[in-house]
Amino acid sequence: MATERSNEPIGVFDSGIGGLTVVAALQRLLPSENIFYLGDTARVPYGGKSRRTVERYSIEIGGLLLAERAKVIVVACNTASALAVPRMKEIFKVPVQGVVTPGAQAAAKSTLIGKVGVVGTRATISSGAYEHAINSINPGIQVLSAACPLLVPLIEEGMFDDDVTKIMLSRYLGPMLKAGIDTLVLGCTHYPLLRNTIAEVAGPHVTLVDSAENCALAVKRLLADAGIAASPRRLGGLNVALTDATEGFLRSAAQALELEIGDVALRSVQSEEGNPA
């Protein structure tokens, strides 16, 4: 019964810690929901890996979330959303929600002149997932994309407002800003941590679309439609697990996002050789 599942957690995963931006958005929008977050820190990043490998990793992590009785799986990773969500929807019996479609819908609604920029990892950009999703909504929208491989390392070093970060952003965003975009999709869940700096570089005439925020809105609709939303009378909680004991960036990200994270659990995954990592 759907009502029996209402108190079970929303399962959220990312290749690392960046998906905590989705967790923060979910907590703001759905404070009564329990959330179980799993960061695959043993195999981060997914951004440079093949579709087959990303699918395999995502299915393995999804299985771990189901072991935690997740009532829905939220793929808080743009790379996994672009490459693995279709296969996950075929395999898993619970609903699977990625970040690409909600971000694309928000971008298509936001643009006034039909020019949208997308920034993300190499894998997300090369997949063309956002371009396809945006153009499936409105074929007349011009989508300009840029892979930004150096942004995640800068973010994980805590260089949110550093001059080096601003220089790299100016280089990555320059061509699409020159082309006259009026909307920019933050196509990596790390990027909302740079929101203020990105807004400064992009300028006041460019609207930023946060895929994390729009993913949370999609999850809210999904839970309501399925009849498995938690009672609004209770206060939800957050549990965090990682596949490798690396908590440095976890704590700084949690502080930046104003998340309360207690003890962090460890979960085992398979290594490339088939042995537990």
Q: Is the peptide bond before 45 cis (omega within 30 degrees of 0)?
A: yes
Mean pLDDT of 186-203: 94
**Contact yes or no for 191/198 (Cβ under 8 A):** yes
Q: Tell me if residue 148 is catalytic.
A: no
Asked whether the predicted pLDDT for residue 86 surpasses 50, the reply is yes
Which of 77, 119, 143, 208 is catalytic? The answer is 77
224 occurs within a structural domain: yes
Mean pLDDT of 188-205: 94
Residues 89 and 217 in one domain: yes
Residues 85 and 125 in one domain: no
Residues 197 and 104 in one domain: yes
274 occurs within a structural domain: no
Paired tokens of 182: 């009026």
Paired tokens of 23: 């967790």
Q: Tell me if residue 215 is catalytic.
A: no
Which of 188, 193, 208, 253 is catalytic? The answer is 188
What's the number of domains the chain is made of? 2
User: Which tens digit of pLDDT belongs to each residue from 34-84?
Assistant: 999 999 999 988 887 889 999 999 999 999 999 999 999 999 999 999 999
Residues 151 and 249 in one domain: no
Residues 84 and 109 in one domain: no
Q: What is the domain extent for residue 129?
A: 100-211
> Per residue, what are the HEC states of 170-229?
HHHHHHHHHCCCCEEEEECCCHHHHHHHHHHHHCCCCEEEEHHHHHHHHHHHHHHHHCCC
Residues 166 and 218 in one domain: no
Residue 19's contacts (CB-CB under 8 Å, 6 or more residues apart) are 12, 13, 37, 39, 76, 77, 189
Rounded percentage of the chain residues whose pLDDT exceeds 70? 96
Integer angstrom CA distances of residue 232 from 6, 47, 142: 11, 37, 41
**Contact yes or no for 156/128 (Cβ under 8 A):** no
Which is more confident, 46 or 147?
Answer: 147
